[in-house]
Structure 1
Amino acid sequence: MRPKPVADACADGCCAPAAVGPDRRPALVRRVRLLVAATITYNVAEVVALTAGAAASSGALIGFGLDSVIEVASAVAVAWQFSGRDPEGRQRRALKAIAISFFVLAIYVTGEAVSTFFTGRAPESSRTGIVLAAISLVVMPALSRAQRRAGRELGSTSAVADSRQTLLCACLSAVLLAGLLLNALFGWWWADPAVALAIAGVAVREGRTAWRGQHCC
């Protein structure tokens, strides 16, 4: 019995070798590089959440800032992959780097959240965090869609993985915004560590997916 073709294993064909013409491929590679540069630039600015989180003793805001650091690391890994002559050969190592960064985030954020629950240390409200989360909720989905479209057309698992991480940032922005508003408006301090634990849970899931290289399928 002949082995099943790779293209048949995925309904959307994303995992199949990219059927991109020689004229189209360089344009897609350039687009991925530009989107990666845009992601890095925005997430470097987003790292201000670390300072705001430390000032407000907000584990959720610190976790969001660390996720921005991981976003930068992930984008750098994809940029490194496409800077060489053999992007496909570097893809697996890029995915491993993305996965490890997710696991580190999950461990740190979980520790912060558990500590907050046990100590009962109420985080302060953060206007900077609220504004930052609201802006990210608008910017990151647009970046993610563009990254995913280019990555799928190019047949790059790591580029699609990076787009998922960008989308994760948008989801975390929504959850973070809800937690910060609940704390600021109603004094529900427990919403902050609860959001932090949610961030950690999603990070573990995405880390496992990246480690297995299953972002396309």
Structure 2
Amino acid sequence: MDITRGAALRRGVRLEVATIAWMLVEAVIALAAGIAAHSVLLTAFGADSVIELLSGIVLYVRLSAESAGTSRDVERLEATTTRVSAVLLVLLCAYVVLSSVAGIVLRITPSDSIAGVAVSAVAIVAMPLLARAKRRVNQVIGSPSLRADIAETISCAYLAAVTLAGLAVSMLTGWWWIQFIAALALLIWIVPEAHEALEHRRDNGSITGGKA
């Protein structure tokens, strides 16, 4: 059992390293392409990448600590990571709402962006695979903060699909607003995940307070 958990932790660390590396590239490309194309959704996609990058860094610290055998600090790190992940998910909800509403109100029609299309296409394929690998690891570790991180990874794939599909539909039909409506649909899934992460944050806070 210890060997299985140890292997899962080491794999989790490698997955978070991959997450950090990709999200850094994705954030830079998406933000730059979004600004250049005046695309609110593509810029928001880049913001999602930044949130995922921060989450990956936090999870890397948490998993590395336990993998290295510093078990006395794992519970504290788990609580801290859960709190950070909860905040990141709330921020994720906020930027989706703000960017989508702003796009509709301001009638912003994004221009074509080859770089944006490319990075979104890669994310559509890579993120579900990464989320699946993280989920397998978490079946052994059982970390609520990693569960929140998985939610952010899946949301990244969703937004990548929205970015591509929304841009394609708006270009073909002239429905410039369709990608913003699709982005708002993300809240149907991400809000419950954010609520669950906040519940874990509250529970961890109660446990920590009780032990103090």
TM-score norm. by structure 1 comes to 0.80
Q: How does 1:50-199 map to 2 (within 5 A)?
A: 50-84=31-65, 85=70, 86-199=73-186
Number of residue pairs matched by the alignment:
194
Q: Residues 212 and 42 from structure 1, CA distance in 2 versus in 1: closer, same or farther, beyond 3 angstroms?
A: same
**1:125–1:183 CA contact under 8 A, matched in 2:** no
The structure where helix makes up a greater share of residues is 2
CA distance in 1, matches of 2:130, 2:152: 11
What's the offset of the Cα at 1:113?
2.3
Deviates more, 1:199-208 or 1:66-75: 199-208
Residues 1:213 and 2:208 are matched in the alignment: no
Question: 2:210 is matched with which residue?
Answer: none
What are the superposed Cα offsets for residues 28-53 of structure 1, whole Å, 9 maximum, x if unpaired?
A: 21111000001111111111111111
Shift of 1:199: 4.0
String of CA shifts for 1:53-91, please: whole Å, max 9, x gaps.
112222211111111111111111111212332323321
Percent of pairs with identical residues: 37
Uncovered stretches (5+) of structure 1, i.e. residues with no partner:
1-20
Q: Secondary structure at the match of 1:82?
A: helix
Cα separation, partners in 2 of 1:35 and 1:137, compared to 1, 3 Å: same
Could you list the per-position Cα deviations for residues 102-133 of structure 1 after superposition, in whole angstroms to 9, with x for gaps in the alignment? 22233233223222222223222322222222
Alpha-carbon contact 2:100-2:183 (below 8 Å) kept: yes
Q: CA deviation at 1:202?
A: 4.3
Distance 1:207 1:111 in 2: 17
Q: 1:203 to 1:62 in 2, by over 3 A?
A: farther
Q: Quick check: 1:106–1:201 contact (8 Å CA) kept in 2?
A: no
User: How far does residue 173 in structure 1 lie from its aligned partner after superposition?
Assistant: 1.8
**Cα pair 1:130 1:180 within 8 Å, conserved:** no
User: Structure 1's 117 and 96: CA in aligned 2 closer, same or farther, altered over 3 A?
Assistant: same
